[in-house]
Copies of this chain bind each other. A is one copy, B any other.
Amino acid sequence: MAERPYTHVLSMLQEAGLRPTRQRLGLARLLFEAGNRHVTAEDIYAEAKVAGIPVSLATIYNTLHQFTASGLLREVVVEPGRAYFDTNTSGHHHFFFEETGDICDIPENEISIVRLPPLPQGASLNRVDVVVRVTGGSGRNYN
């Protein structure tokens, strides 16, 4: 759970070629200074309000997508109609708690996929997502 100081967040943006605007810096701090997170746009919108970061929902969406395009975030799809963004961009998988909507990480080495099928011709592998769907429990008492 590396805590990232302000300066690190700043250089993350610079390295990604994104101007460090007030909004982007504020959102990056919320996202990256607190360990691995799985958030929706509404989640950080609410957090930004509380934190006093002046930002609109449209900018939240823009920013999340820019961060994703830059490899700072990764999009996780577990439910139709809701996009989650994961601050952990390295290879790993997820538990999804169907009742609470919580998501939590499964380290890559805790699951191993043996024997991937041959890819369809002309296709190149992008990534393999594994979602372990569970009922009961919650992300609270895990990770």
Contacts and interface: CB of A to CB of B under 8 A. Distances in A.
Contact of A130 (B97, B98, B129): B129
Interface residues on A, range: 35 or more
A137 B125 CA distance: 11
Contact of A83 (B80, B127, B132): B80
B134 A129 contact: no
Chain copies in the assembled complex:
2
Contact of A131 (B82, B123, B129, B132): B129
B113 A130 contact: yes
A143 to B, nearest CB: 8
Contacts of A7: none
A40 B42 CA distance: 26
7 contacts: A77-B79, A81-B83, A122-B141, A125-B133, A129-B129, A129-B131, A130-B130
* Closest A-B pairs by Cβ, 7 of them: A123-B137, A122-B137, A120-B142, A110-B117, A123-B134, A80-B83, A126-B133
